Structures are given as structure tokens and as C-alpha cells.
Amino acid sequence: VNDLPLLELFTRLRESGLPLGIRDYEAVLQALQAGYGLPDRPALARLCRTLWVRSIDERQLFDYYFEQLIGSEMVSEIDNLVVTAIQKQQQRAIRVAISAALSVLLVGVGIALWTNNPSPTPKIIPTPKITPPPTPRTSKENSQLLAIMFFLLFCLSGIWLFRILMQRRKNSLDPSEISPVESSSKMNFELLPTMGDEVLTAQVVQQMTTIGYRRTRDAGSDDYQPANQRQMKQSWRHLCQKVREGMATELDLERTVRQIACQRIFLEPFLVPKRVNLTELILLIDRDGSMVAFHALADWLIDTALLGGKLGKVEAYYFHNCPVGYLYRDPVHSESEPLTEILTKLRRDRAVVLIFSDAGSARGGFNQDRVELTTIFLQQLQLQVRYVAWLNPLPKSRWAGTTAEKIGRVVPMFDITREGLDLAIDVLRGKQNSGCDRTELILRKRP
Amino acid sequence: MDETLRRQTLEYTGKVQPQRGERGANGQLLSPYLPNGELVEAVNLSIYLERPLLLKGEPGCGKTQLAKAVAYELGLPLEAWYVKSSSRAKDGLYTYDAVGRLRDAQLAASGRLSDEQIAKIDDPETYVRWGALGRAFQKPQRTVVLIDEIDKGDIDFPNDLLLELDERRFIVEETGVEVPAKFPPIVLITSNDEKDLPDAFLRRCLFHYVEFPDRDRLIEIIHSRFPQTSEDLTQQAVSRFLKLRKEMRKDKGETGKKASTSELIDWFQVLRRHPEEEALAHLGGKLPYPGVLLKSWTDHIRYLQDRSE
């Protein structure tokens, strides 16, 4: 039977989004068996970190859970736990041998007593008949022998009982003797006071990731899950518009062959430039106010787009509530840049714009001014870029009756779930299945 | 049992250093490398579990040097693959000289090749040029493979290597020959974090963040590189260097470019050309030889002026 050390930690890390698989878990076991990570707690932490953590962010998360879940006494337990299979078998064999020897001894004594024991009553009675002088000495000897036998039996069974009890006690301390189910439930109980329940976990996630998490959960839609960084990364990869540009480095096989056919001899290969992604992504991020809770999500969007690597160019600008006149280069709104200047810099054939804002749905209510200002801005924008899409950090159910609903009719608006993000990126790629009323925008464009 | 034996024979300690002036197989001067305990452990884990080790850390903190040090200590050959923006995953395994073959075919058609040359052309392997991984797979012993700056490649680059790193075999498409690894290579991969690496790739790697060395280790590094230098000069230079780094960290945060270990070594090399007193005097005043440590105009203005005020 294999016991599973560190399973709790592994599961927690998986739950909080580390991309870990069975192989990673096996690797730790394998390394533990080879003696890595064993002497003490820091060594164990180092081992797990090397095998399970692949970025600085993940490391913070790991350190938190390790601190929470792995006490120093756990380490010695794990130490015990990971005695190699051979050692374990040896121990087991010795234990079996001892118990076997003991039981044989006991049975032997038992039988001896059984054969001797009934003697007191029947023997004592017939002895006087057979042996003429029943000396008191022999009967005394007999009862002495009996007493010794009893004493021995008592001692042996006592020792045996004691051993069993000891083993029981050891079992409750030594996890190597407990089934995995038992040990994990035990772990849970021990850690319950320190680890708390999901709320605490949520707090950690919140602390590590976003404050917006809980808020959106409170919003009454429990199944609403904002996209996480991995999902964002994956989604960005779909956003591309590839064109051959730059140095000619790739062989164009077809043209080379055709050239050989024409010239009847091969003179030189025909090269073409590599295909590169030309999409220029402009992220417009609503900051502060009702968006405070979603700053982390916004930062993720920007980071994942920047490091995604596929996009031709990524730029982020900030605004508050509604972009009017100026956009800001930094989240604290100190470096401003006139909107017109930004718009003229954009390349109409390449630039796509993704707006991240709650469009007034966080506070609720309807604001006609905001709708109009936003619409004017969007019209300006539409003329300068290929496609525009809007991401709302709040779930669709919260838009009804708010400014967001109205704006959502002017521009394709999606909530920032995995599906929403993918749909928004589809729009930016030119797939117009957004469900928003395009005619309204066109009508508004020409009043 | 064989498996465990094979795995256990190699252990990197980080304590075996090349002698002064010792040269490597390619004639390059070897220099000592002083890793910390955690890094040594990570390397050993990677050797034991036969998984690639991904190294991240500030530029110039010795990520690339590690591979040389490991190969030196374990007495294994080193195959380095320096990834470029135009690199394809296949380049590390092999490239096929199709153009060369075409040329030869034409020469043969016009009857300008000897029989011997024609026999060579007939062998399809003639045009296979092995890459670093391809060579490592065929070596009769474990080989240290360095895949340097993997983040420079295309975003799909690491993913294209998964099968080869996982199953340790590949097929030369042009000849149909399968090349299995005779011995599992020890793969060290460095990344400067310019691009995120795909999760599928990360999952197959062990990860270690190479920390910037602390003061004592820096002094040790300087000592090991320049054994004849006076204690005083080393101490002073490292102090001055760390002070500069501290200022840089204050201004630029954790992610900005700061003076690195390799720059410290260069800088110290220049400093010690002077007689000791002169060098010490230099250190007391304006930052000497700033060009070695400060690599941007704003840095020059900021850290040189601060000093003179």
C-alpha cells in the first residue's frame, strides 16, 4: 500500500491554478525516495519548489500554502513515510516474525497448560490411588509448577497485549501505517483551524490575484468565473493577422521548383519573408472608481497580452469612466495624451481596440450622458481602427437596465469569462457574430 | 536496480573548479563557477529525474555559465544551442542541406562528379547536419545540453521540442531514420523572461530562479577569479558595486536592468590593472569606469551625477 505524502499541498496548489499533473506528483515521490528534500523542512520546500513552481508568482502562492500546510512535524512524518520500499518490507518482515514467534510461544504455553491444567482436578484425585503415599511435597511441587506456568502465561500474554497496544499507539502516530484516506482526513482535521475554509482560500486567491473576485461572486452569480491568466494567454494567441514581412529567410519551395523548371538548372533558391503577426492591440482600461476591484484583472489583461509574444504591438491606455478628450499612458493618470493624437497614430489596417470597463454596471443605474459620450467616442474610434470590442468585468446578468446595456448595443460587449474573452477576440479578428446591433451604430454614425 | 544505479552515479557538487588558465575542449578559457546550495540541488534533481532544468534570473547572473561548470565537473561533453529569433525547434536536432543536395544532383547530371563523390551523394545521410540535441542524443555518454535564451525563439518554439525532450528520440524526415537518445542528456535551459513560455513546456521542466549572489559570495567569486588580489580592494570594490545596485533597485524596482555579476567581474578586471592605492582612490571618488557598469544614458546621468554631488 502506498501512502501519499504532500497530497494535500499538491491538491491545494492545483486548485489555485498551478498547472500540475500526476507526473509532477510522481516526480516528487521519486525524488523523496532517492533522498532529496528529506533532512528538514527547508529542504523539502526547496524540492517541491523546484519541481512544482515555474514562475515567481507561483512561488509566492507555493510559499503561502507550504507555510500553511506543512508543519515541521509533518516533515519528520514524511521522512518516516518515505523509507524506501526495501526498508519498509524489512521492517514489516521483522514485525511479522516477532508476532509469529510470540504467537507460537503463546500457543505452545497454552497447549502445555492445557495438558497440564486439567491435571489439577483429575490428577490430584487419582494420584493418591495409584501412588500409595501421596506425599504432600509432590502436590506442593505440582501447585508450584502450576503457579509458575500461570505466572509465565500471564507475563507472556501481558507482553503480547502490551505490544499490540504499543503498535496501536504507534499506528496513530506513524502515518506509514495508516491508509491514505485516514491520513488525509486526519490532515484535514489538524489543519482546519489553521487553514480555515474556502473563504480563506478565496482570500488568498484574492490577495494573490484580484480583489474583484469576491465582489463579483457576491453579485449573486456563483458560476461567474473571470478568466484567469492562463486562459487570457491562450485566448490572445488566437488574435493574429499574419503577413509575410521583413527579411527573406524562408524557402519558397514552389517558386524555387518553378524557377528550376523554367531555367532548366538550379541557380539559387527563392526566399520569402517569414509570416509575422501584424495585429496592433490597443487596450483601453477604465481605472479607479467602480473599477478598483478589477485592477488586477486589467493588469492581467495587459501583462498576458504583452508577454504573449504573438502580437505585433501592444499598447495600453487608461481612462476614467468614459474616454473624453484625453487618454492616459499610466494607471495613475499623470501622463495624458490627446485622444486625437492617439487616434491618428493608429494604423487603420492593423489596429484593434479592446476596451475594459464596467460601463456603469457596477453601480447600476442609467446615465444618458455617459451613453452619449461613449457612443461619440466609439464612433471616432471605429473610423480609425479595424475592430473594437468591449470587455465588462461584471456578468451579463448585471447589465440589464444600466448604462452598460445601452452601450452594449453600440459595441460588441462581453463579460470577462473565458467564453466572453474568446468572443471578444473573435470580434477583433473580424468575426462579426457579436449579437450587438450593428445597424444602431451605423445609424448613429450618420445622424 | 540498474536504473537506480545509472541515475545515482552522477552528482554535481559545484566544488570542483578548473585550475587557473585551464582551457576547455574548444580552447576557451575556463573560469570557476560558484553556485549556491539550492542551485546545486536543482541541478542534481534534474540529472536524477532526467528532466530539463529551466533557469531564470537577472541577466548576467551566470545562468549560461552553469552548463559549462556542470559539464566540467562531471567530465561530460557540452553541446550548446544558442537560440535566435529565427531559430526553429528542428534546428536543434538537425538541418537538412536540401540546396546542397540539389546542387550535387545537377553536377552529377552534367557528369562532373567522380564515382566516389556520386557514392557519397547516394547516401542520404550526407546532407544531414546535426544540431546540438541531435549530437547529444548520439553521444556514447550522457551529455550536458545548454539551450540558451529559449525565450528568444518563436512562441511555438518550446512546444515544438516537447516530443524530443519527452521521448528522447526524433526522426530525420528526409531520410526516415529514427534517432533515439543513447543516454538521456542533461538539459539546462535559460530564459530571460522576455516571453512567457507555454504551460505544456513548463510542465516538463524543473524550474530554478538563480538568485543574485550575496556579498560574501560576490567576494568569493572575485577571489576565485582573481586570486592574487588584495582583500582590501576586493572588499571596497564589492561594497561600491553593491551600493550602486542598491540605488538602481530603488529607482528601477525589481525588474529593471541592474548591474550584474558578469559586469562586476569585467569592472574589477579593469580596476585591478591599476596599482592598489590608485584603484582604492578611484573607488573613493566618482564611480570609476562607469561604461562597464552603466549601460544606458539615463543611468549615466543619474548615477554619475548623484556621486559627484
pLDDT of A235 > 70? The answer is yes
pLDDT higher than 60, residue B49: yes
In this model, does residue A278 exceed pLDDT 60?
Answer: yes
The top-scoring range by mean pLDDT among A49-63, B69-83, B262-276 is B69-83
Q: What contacts A42, CB < 8 A, 6 or more positions away?
A: none
Among A146-155, A189-198, A253-262, A396-405, the least confident range:
A189-198
Q: Is the ipTM of this complex over 0.85?
A: no
A52: number of CA atoms within 13 Å, CB side? 33
B8, B39, B49, B90: best to mutate for the A interface, most A CBs within 10 A: B49
Of A165-179, A184-198, B35-49, least confident by mean pLDDT is A184-198
Alpha-carbon distance of A27 to A29, in angstroms, equals 5
Supply the DSSP symbol for A290.
Answer: G
Give the per-residue pLDDT at A17.
77
How much is the average pLDDT of A379-391?
88
- pLDDT bin (cut points 50, 70, 90) of residue A164 is low
Whether the per-residue pLDDT at A325 is higher than 70: the answer is yes
| Average pLDDT for B216-222 | 89
| Cβ-defined contact of A23 to B203 (cutoff 8 Å) | yes
Tell me the nearest-neighbour CA distance from A80 into chain B, angstroms.
Answer: 21
Write down the pLDDT at residue A67: 87
Calpha distance B188→B185 (Å, rounded): 9
Q: Is the pLDDT of residue A217 over 50?
A: no
Identify which of B7, B49, B54 has the shortest CB distance to residue A27. B49
CA distance linking residue A309 with residue A277, whole number of Å = 10
* Side-chain-facing half-sphere of B138: CA atoms under 13 Å: 13
In whole angstroms, what is the distance from residue A344 CA to residue A340 CA? 6
B181–chain A nearest CA distance, Å:
21
| Chain A CB contacts of B196 below 8 Å | 233, 304, 307-309
More confident position, A4 or A414: A414
Name the residue facing A31 among B38, B45, B199 (closest C-beta).
B45
Is pLDDT of A181 > 60? no
- Given this model, what pLDDT does residue A80 score? 64
CA distance A147 to A153: 10
| Most confident of the following: A185-189, B74-78, B248-252 | B74-78
| Chain A interface mutation, best of B41, B88, B191, highest count of A Cβ atoms under 10 Å | B41
pLDDT band at B78 (very low <50, low <70, confident <90, very high): very high
User: pLDDT band at B52, cuts 50/70/90?
Assistant: very high
Question: Quick one: pLDDT at residue B182?
Answer: 92
Whether A24 has its CB under 8 Å from any CB of chain B: the answer is: yes
**Inter-chain touch B203–A20, beta carbons under 8 Å:** yes
Which residue of B8, B88, B209 to mutate against A (max A Cβ within 10 Å)? Answer: B209
Q: What is the pLDDT of residue A38?
A: 79
Q: What is the distance in angstroms between the Cα of A5 and the nearest Cα belonging to chain B?
A: 19
Q: Residue A195 pLDDT more than 60?
A: no
Contact status, residue B71 vs residue B273, Cβ threshold 8 Å: no
- A304 in reach of chain B (CB within 8 A): yes
Output B145 or A69, whichever has higher pLDDT: B145
Provide the pairing of β-strand B144-148 with B186-191.
parallel
Percent above pLDDT 70 for chain B: 95
pLDDT digits (tens, 9 = 90+) for A12-45: 888 887 888 888 898 888 888 888 887 788 888 8
Average pLDDT over residues A209-215: 40
- Which residue in the set A54, A260, A269 is minimally distant from B202, CB to CB? A54
Q: A321 falls in which pLDDT band (50, 70, 90)?
A: confident
User: What is the pLDDT of chain A when averaged over all its residues?
Assistant: 73
- Average confidence (pLDDT) over B240-248: 88
| B65 pLDDT higher than 80 | yes
How far is the C-alpha of A297 from the C-alpha of A293, rounded, in Å? 9
Which range among A15-19, A211-215, B220-224 has the greatest average pLDDT? B220-224
Of A441 and A230, the structure prediction assigns the larger pLDDT to A230
Of A130 and A234, which is predicted with more confidence? A234
Provide mean pLDDT across the span A46-64. Answer: 86
Q: Examine the pLDDT at A168 and tell me if it is beyond 70.
A: no
Worst-scoring range by mean pLDDT, A203-212, A311-320, A340-349?
A: A203-212
A309 and B45 in contact by Cβ < 8 A?
A: no
pLDDT given for residue B306 in this prediction:
53
- pLDDT band of residue A230 (cuts 50, 70, 90) is confident
Write out chain B residues lying below 8 Å of A46, CB-based.
38, 41-42
Percent of residues, chain A, with pLDDT higher than 90: 6
DSSP string, chain B: -HHHHHHHS----S---PPTT-B-TTSPBP------HHHHHHHHHHHHHT--EEEEESTTSSHHHHHHHHHHHHT--EEEEE--TT--GGGGTEEE-HHHHHHHHHHHHTT-S-HHHHHHHHSGGGGEEE-HHHHHHHSSS--EEEEE-GGGS-TTHHHHTHHHHHH-EEEETTTTEEEE-SS--EEEEEE-SSSPPPHHHHTTSEEEEEPPP-HHHHHHHHHHH-TTS-HHHHHHHHHHHHHHHHHHHHHHTTTS----HHHHHHHHHHHTTS-HHHHHHHHHSS-SSHHHH--SHHHHHHHHHHHH-
Q: How far apart are CA A104 and CA A96, in angstroms?
A: 12
* B173–chain A Cβ distance below 8 A for any pair: no
The whole-angstrom separation of Cα A445 and Cα B18 is: 74
Q: What is the mean pLDDT of residues B121-140?
A: 90
| A425-to-A240, A281, A432, A434 alpha-carbon distances in Å | 10, 11, 10, 11
Beta-strand pair B206-210/B169-172: unpaired
Mean pLDDT is highest, among A134-143, A418-427, B180-189, for B180-189
Alpha-carbon distance values, B248 to A242, B11, B115 (Å): 40, 38, 67
**CA max distance for chain B:** 79
Q: Mutate which of B150, B155, B193 to disrupt the A interface (most A C-beta within 10 Å)?
A: B155
For A222, the grid coordinates are 456563483
